Amino acid sequence: MLNYRPKMFDEASEANISKDILMILISFIVVFMLTRTQKLIPVMISNHLLKQELANSAPDLQEKIMISGSDKRVMIPALFSTVLTTIVSIIYCRFFEERPVRSMGARKNGFLAHYLSGLLVGGALMSAIVLIANSSGAISLKLCENINYKVIVLFFLGFVVQGMSEEFLFRGFLLNSIGGAGYHTMLAVMITSVGHAFSHGLNNGFGFFTFFNLIIINLFFTLYMILFDNIWGVCALHSVWNFTQGNIFGISVSGNEEMDSVMRATAISGNDIITGGKFGIEGSIFTTAAVTVCIIVISILLFIKYRITQAKSAEQPV
């Protein structure tokens, strides 16, 4: 069992947090549902602008041509619009739970080092998964022609915002609210991981094995944050994880359609467990294996950190 409690939990415990886990979950669900409305904004604006654009040249097409959610004219603004999730999460924790932002893991010290480390870990892990899948013959990779690097840069910046938003909502808010209320670290970790995985339930290609993979991916992300007691590293890890699979390798990101990318991955195997199917490489057995190894490594590091913390506490005079 994971007995280590990060400093974030202690900082959150000093605030006005409900000790009733049911109330914490209800509050989280309310905030979560409130932030989901942000996705409608880019679609509505983009479709309105498209209608205006068609009004002069082809008014008869106004009702026939609508921008889909997978269009980059919607996807990029939608990614940036997730900043509202970060803002709402911070406002709730700061003013309703009355806890400092640092209790969400948002620390000034070491920001750059944590963020760059997260980018390195996330990019390297996703690249390893895709390249192993390619070497095994499960998928094939091909360099794209006419690569639009400006759009890819916009996607990267959008994923920086999007990855941060989910981390502040699920790990900055939910994880630390449960841990700060005095519940066992492992309970906080599992509820956060399962909840985050379940939030993808309406995505294209979602299934039992995909759900299992999402749980262990989020378990890895959560343990990573606890190990470093800092949210910035996992924000970067999450952002580059999505960006690398979507815009470097051209793989569907959590069931979302293909987007502008440097390379394009094509499934060779017809087995969804091997390729991830419509959900993307996150639902692949290769991801299962790679992330499991990462969880084992982080668990060992956390155990070592816990023992060191215990030893230091024992040395202090009573």
- Is residue 313 pLDDT above 80, yes or no? no
- Is residue 50 pLDDT above 80, yes or no? no
For 272-311, write each residue's pLDDT tens digit: 999 999 999 999 999 999 999 999 999 999 999 989 888 8
**pLDDT (0 to 100) of residue 62:** 44
**pLDDT (0 to 100) of residue 64:** 43
Share of the chain above pLDDT 90, in %: 72
- Is residue 48 pLDDT above 60, yes or no? no
Domain residue limits, the chain:
7-315
- Is residue 47 pLDDT above 90, yes or no? no
**pLDDT (0 to 100) of residue 240:** 98
**pLDDT (0 to 100) of residue 151:** 94
More confident residue, 212 or 77: 212
How much is the pTM? 0.90
**pLDDT (0 to 100) of residue 65:** 41
Residue 68 banded pLDDT, cuts 50, 70, 90:
very low
**pLDDT (0 to 100) of residue 311:** 83
What DSSP string runs through the chain?
A: ------HHHHHHHTS---S-HHHHHHHHHHHHHHHHGGGHHHHHHHHHHHHHHHHHH-GGGTTT----TTSHHHHHHHHHHTHHHHHHHHHIIIIIS---GGGGT--STTHHHHHHHHHHHHHHHHHHHHHHHHHTTSEEEEEPSS--HHHHHHHHHHHHHHHHHHIIIIIIIIIHHHHHTT--HHHHHHHHHHHHHHTTTTSTT--HHHHHHHHHHHHHHHHHHHHHT-SHHHHHHHHHHHHIIIIIS---STTPPP-S-SEEEEE-S--HHHH-GGG-GGGSHHHHHHHHHHHHHHHHHHHHHHHHHHHHHHHS--
**Mean pLDDT score of the chain, rounded to an integer?**
88
For 98-150, write each residue's pLDDT tens digit: 999 999 999 999 999 999 999 999 999 999 999 999 999 999 999 999 899 99
- Is residue 180 pLDDT above 50, yes or no? yes
Weakest-pLDDT range from 7-16, 44-53, 209-218: 44-53
- Please give the average per-residue pLDDT across 168-185, as a whole number: 96
**pLDDT (0 to 100) of residue 46:** 57
**pLDDT (0 to 100) of residue 98:** 92
